[in-house]
Homo-oligomer: A and B are copies of this chain.
C-alpha cells in the first residue's frame, strides 16, 4: 500500500495534494518579490536560493529522514564528516571570491607573506554558514565554535600578528591544520564571566604562563569541541602577575596533538555526554594541571605582560571591554537571523499540514483544519511573526557589520574607538533584546506549531522534536534570555531616567527614537492618544513606543521611590520584549513603505501590510494586560483590537500557502514528511517511515522476541487451542 499502489487520484490519500494545489491557485501573491523583500534584495534572495539548492543536492549535508534516527555516537561522527565536506565548500568559496581556480589558494594564504584574508573572501561562506544552521543546527555550532568563537576571541583580543598567525597561517579559518574551541564557561560560572576562576600565573623565570584549574567548580564546562575535536583552545583565565590578579584575559592553549588527537600533558578532558539536543557537538570539560604556555600565547592586543624584573602589565581597560562586547555580539546577531530562518521552516510545515489535513464536518469531505477560526489563530500569527523578524534580523546584521568595520578600521585610534564604543553599547542593548525575544518566539513557535500537527507532530520524521531540542539552548547560551532582557531593560531605563533628568544621553539606533524628551512629554501629556486607534499604518509600530514610554516611566518612579532596581526586574523583562517588537515592527514598516521594498505588485504589498498589522495586533492582544493597565488602551479598544485580528486571519489564510512558499525552502532542507511542497502528506509520511524501517530484518518481530515470549509464556496457549467449547459459546452471548 505504498505510493505506487494507489493510482486512483480521487482516493482519500490524494486529497491533501489537491487541496494544496487549490490553495496555490487561489492566491496571486508574487512569491519572488516577497522573497526579495524578506532577504533584502533580489540578488541576496538569488544567492540564498543558489546555496540552498547546492545543499539540497548534496546528500552529505541533507540526509533525509535517516537524520532523525542517528544515535549520539553516529551524530558525533557524521557531524565531523560534514565539517570536512564544508571545509571543501569553504575553499571553493574563497577561490570563487579570488577568481583563482587553478591553484591552491588556501595554501598560498597560509604563507607568512600572504595578504590578510578579507571580508569579501569569506562572504559567500558566511552566508552559507547561516543556511547550515537551518538545515543542521549542531553542525553549524560545531563548526561555529572553531570559526566564530575561537576566531572572534582571537580577533577581539589578539594583536594583528596573533590574528594573522592563529587564524591564517595555522589555518584555523580554513578549518585546516588546527581546530579551535572556546573555553570560557566553568562548572560554577556562566553568566558572571568576571568571576571565572581558572588561573594563568606568569612565571618570570621561564617567561611563560602556568594554566591551572584551582578546584572542581573552576572546571571548564560545556566546551563545544573539547571532548573530541579541538586541538587548541582560547582559555578565559585570571591573569596573575607577581601575585596580583588582573582579571580575566584570554590565552591560546594547545590541547591535543593534531597528528594523533592525543591529549597533551596536564590536560584532563572528559565528555559532557548526552544533551537535550545537538548531540552532534562534542561538548566536554577541561581541567588544567600545571599546563605551561609561552608568554606569546596570551592574546595581548589590550593587555600585555612585559618581561623584566619585576615584570610589568600594560592594560587598556576601555578597549578591552569593547572587544569583549564585539566577541559576544556575533553570536547574538546570528541568533536573530536563525530565528527567522528556523521559524520559516516550521511555519512552512504547519501551514501546509493545516491546508492538507481534514478533520470533522462532512464525513465524505471533511473540513480542512485551516478553515477553523481557532486553527487560523494558532497557525497564521506564527507565520506573521516570521515576517516581522526578517527585516529586523537583516537590519541588525547590517548594523553589526558596519560597527565591526568601524571597530577594526579604527586601529589604535582612541578617539574613533571611543565613538564606536557608544554605538557598540547601543548595539549590545538592541541585540540582547532581539536575541532574547526572537529565540523565545521561535521556541514557542516550534512548540505550538507542533501541537497544530496533532500526533504526527510528535514523529521525529516531521522534524519538530529534534528542532525544538536543538533550538531551545539558544534561549540560554551566549547570554541567558532573562539575564539579557534584564540587562537591556536596565540600560533602556537608565537612558530614560537620564533624559527625564535632562542629562545628555547618546542614542545611536533608530529603534530607540522614542527616548527623546519631546516624545516622552507627548506620551505623558496624552498627545499620542490617537495612535491607540490604529488608524494609520505607522500606528501599528508606534503604539509600542507609547507603551514603552509609559512602562519606563512607571519603572523609573518605582525605583526612584524604593531605590531597588531589582524590584522592577519582572517589568524590565517585558520592556526588553516590547522594545524588540517596536524595533522589528518599525523596520518592517520602514522597509515595506520604502522604494526599496522590492515589492512592485500592489496586491502583494497589500497582503504584506496585513501581515504587518497581524503581527502587531497579535502581540497587543497577548500583552493586553499591560496595555490596559498602563491605560494605553481601554477595554473597548482592546475588544476592537481582537476583532480586527480575527477579521484579518481569513484574509491572510487565502495567501498563507504562498506566503510560506515564498521562503523558498527546498524539501530536503525542510526535511519533514508532512511538510513537503507537493502536500502529499500521507504518501510521503508512509514512505519515509517504511524507508527508515527497511533495515529491520524481521518486520513485526522484535530483536528481543525471546524475552517477550518467555515472560508471557507464564500464561496460556495460542488462540482458541485451549478454550473449552462452553466458554467459547459464552463469548458469543
Whether A260 and B84, one on each chain, are in contact in the complex, defined by CB atoms closer than 8 angstroms, is no
Whether B718 and A259, one on each chain, are in contact in the complex, defined by CB atoms closer than 8 angstroms, is yes
**Is there a chain B Cβ closer than 8 Å to A454's Cβ?**
yes
Chain B residues with CB under 8 A of A627? 625
Write the nearest CB–CB distance from A579 to chain B, whole angstroms.
Answer: 17
Query: Which of the segments A336-344, A385-393, A541-549, A697-705 contacts the partner chain?
Result: A697-705
CA distance A567 to B723 in the complex (A): 56
Query: Which of the segments A419-427, A479-487, A493-501, A598-606 contacts the partner chain?
Result: A479-487
Query: Which of the segments A46-54, A66-74, A314-322 contacts the partner chain?
Result: A66-74
Task: Say how many copies of this protein the assembly contains.
Answer: 2
Whether B699 and A270, one on each chain, are in contact in the complex, defined by CB atoms closer than 8 angstroms, is yes
**Is there a chain B Cβ closer than 8 Å to A713's Cβ?**
yes
Chain B residues with CB under 8 A of A189? 359
Whether A73 and B177, one on each chain, are in contact in the complex, defined by CB atoms closer than 8 angstroms, is no
Of the candidates B215, B297, B475, B567, which one forms a contact with A451 in the assembled complex, judged by CB atoms under 8 Å apart? B475
Whether B69 and A274, one on each chain, are in contact in the complex, defined by CB atoms closer than 8 angstroms, is yes
Query: Which of the segments A116-124, A455-463, A653-661 contacts the partner chain?
Result: A455-463
Whether B178 and A269, one on each chain, are in contact in the complex, defined by CB atoms closer than 8 angstroms, is no
**Is there a chain B Cβ closer than 8 Å to A724's Cβ?**
yes
**Is there a chain B Cβ closer than 8 Å to A557's Cβ?**
no
Chain B residues with CB under 8 A of A359? 189-192
Given contacts A191-B454, A682-B187, A713-B259, contact A159 B482 (CB under 8 A): no
Whether B635 and A639, one on each chain, are in contact in the complex, defined by CB atoms closer than 8 angstroms, is no
Of the candidates B217, B472, B481, B624, which one forms a contact with A625 in the assembled complex, judged by CB atoms under 8 Å apart? B624
Whether A195 and B712, one on each chain, are in contact in the complex, defined by CB atoms closer than 8 angstroms, is no
Query: Which of the segments A372-380, A516-524, A526-534 contacts the partner chain?
Result: A372-380
**Is there a chain B Cβ closer than 8 Å to A538's Cβ?**
no
Write the nearest CB–CB distance from A381 to chain B, whole angstroms.
Answer: 11
Given contacts A625-B624, A629-B628, contact A215 B373 (CB under 8 A): no
State which residues 689-733 of A face B: CB under 8 Å.
689-690, 692-693, 696, 699-705, 707-709, 711-716, 718-719, 723-724, 727-728, 730-733
Of the candidates B84, B285, B709, which one forms a contact with A259 in the assembled complex, judged by CB atoms under 8 Å apart? B709
Whether A13 and B77, one on each chain, are in contact in the complex, defined by CB atoms closer than 8 angstroms, is no
CA distance A309 to B566 in the complex (A): 83
Whether B455 and A185, one on each chain, are in contact in the complex, defined by CB atoms closer than 8 angstroms, is yes
**Is there a chain B Cβ closer than 8 Å to A275's Cβ?**
yes
Whether B274 and A690, one on each chain, are in contact in the complex, defined by CB atoms closer than 8 angstroms, is no
Chain B residues with CB under 8 A of A190? 359, 454-455
State which residues 561-608 of A face B: CB under 8 Å.
566-567, 569-570, 573
Write the nearest CB–CB distance from A230 to chain B, whole angstroms.
Answer: 10
A-B contact list, 13 entries, CB within 8 Å:
A165-B727, A176-B711, A194-B363, A258-B712, A259-B713, A261-B701, A273-B460, A275-B465, A374-B566, A454-B480, A465-B469, A621-B625, A629-B635
The 4 closest A-B pairs by CB, nearest first: A177-B715, A276-B465, A624-B625, A274-B460
